[in-house]
Structure 1
Amino acid sequence: MTAAAYDAVAVRYAEFVRGAWDDHPLERAVWTAFADSVRGRGPVADLGCGPGHLTAHLRSLGLEAFGVDLSPAMIELARAAEPSVRFEVGSMAALDLPDASLAGILSWYSVIHTPPVDVPRYFAEFARTLASGGHVLLGCFESRGGPLTSFDHKVTTAYCWPLDELAGFAAAAGFTEVGRMYREPGAGERPMRHGSLLLRKP
């Protein structure tokens, strides 16, 4: 369902996200901190990569990054935009990757459409594919400490998470929290706070 929904809007979505974070230095700083944590340690997967704009940004930061997305249309756009970069169709819940093969995982607004009952499977897969000492950077809409809520996203149903709840799932999967960041919405954005978690596999 999510893949088909993004297939249908792939071109418009790619246009929307091009430069979408140019005015958000806090998020660029978080990506840089993530890159500094994993650079030179091995491959980095951008999971839910969409049209590949952040995959390309990670590579500009010196990472051996590649992208994975459920949407075949998004992967076609990513390959066209960045022909030298590896992009694959796949699910974050069942990655076609060996155990302990990654130095890092970027999951930037990639779990927002996932029904809450399924989220632990994603963290389990992150833990399986990350090497010891590897890092995950996760971004999401944040519920300001209130309860988990769903909302009508432009593409398909999405969720606004308490970071504490996501951090709890991460801890249950064996991750240690390194840090978190909150950002208020900017002009023209949905009136929702944004959050990110940087996690480490011991």
Structure 2
Amino acid sequence: MSSLSTLAATVAARQEIKKSRFAAFASPVPDESTAKAFIAAHSDQTANHNCWAWRIGQAYRFSDDGEPGGTAGKPILQAIDGQSLDRVAVVVTRWFGGVLLGSGGLIRAYGGTAAMCLREAEKIPLVDTIAATVRCGFGDLALVQARLEAFPGAQLRSQAFTDAGAELSVLVPKDEADNMARMVADLTSGRAAFKIEK
């Protein structure tokens, strides 16, 4: 099981540092296109800089948006990684207040605002899942469905009906797949089939 978490919802934080105003927005993002849409939606075109970072598994991106290289996007990404988060995007917007912060000040301001925002957020543990298919007859369908929906961490993705019964597509916590297969077999006295999708 993964020790990473994601956010439960979009959160925001604001602070002022030496007359510059900083606003951070963070959100859970399942994929790169959602991350890009979130960044576009939360960037303020009236601001001096909209710096951002996101991480989705091994993939990540960040932008300094005109700030000196390495002083904004990378500290935001480090704030995400420092709190063991995944599938998260953060935008930190700066309105310049007339006082130069210097490289160290910018790193602290962007990283600190992002970290403050993320600390405030409700977090949800990420669970490694695998896809599986359950085939069962109509007589077993209601019971199998009820048990699958009650199984911790399992998600029913779709169902299709055949002449003989139903085929349910599910996501199962990786380290619970054997237990779920046993449960399906026990519930139906071996009539239902549980198969991990390749």
Please give the TM-score of this superposition, normalised by the length of structure 1.
0.25
**Structure with the largest fraction of strand:** 2
Which protein has the larger Cα radius of gyration, Structure 1 or Structure 2? 2
> What TM-score results when the alignment is normalised by the length of structure 2?
0.25
